Amino acid sequence: MGYGNLVIVDHGGGFYTLYSNLTEMSAQVGTEVTAGTQVGVVADYLHFEIRRDGKPVNPIDWLKP
């Protein structure tokens, strides 16, 4: 099993976020996104990852209010 439809957002500084299991992708290669930009649509569940220098980072510290 893979990621299916996948959007990767480059935040700079070696940080990337991955959004997968998308039924539709709104963002295209080179699209500049800002907070609140819709990058895709999911029907069932969203798989989300934060990576730094290619390695997974626990997102809990980033998602705290």
Q: 51 is written with which tokens? A: 């990576």
The per-residue pLDDT for 65 is 75
Terminal C-alpha separation, the chain: 32
Instruction: Give tens-digit pLDDT for 10-65.
Output: 999 999 999 999 999 998 899 899 989 999 999 999 999 999 999 999 988 888 77
Alpha-carbon distances, residue 42 vs 34, 57, 60 (angstroms): 19, 23, 21
The per-residue pLDDT for 43 is 92
pLDDT band at 1 (very low <50, low <70, confident <90, very high): low
Residue 31's identity, in one-letter code, is T
Q: Which domains does the chain have, with CATH numbers?
A: 5-63 (2.70.70.10)
| pTM, to two decimals | 0.85
Distance CA 43, CA 11 (A): 26
The per-residue pLDDT for 22 is 96
Q: Which residues contact 49 (CB under 8 A, 6 or more apart)?
A: 17, 18, 20, 56, 59
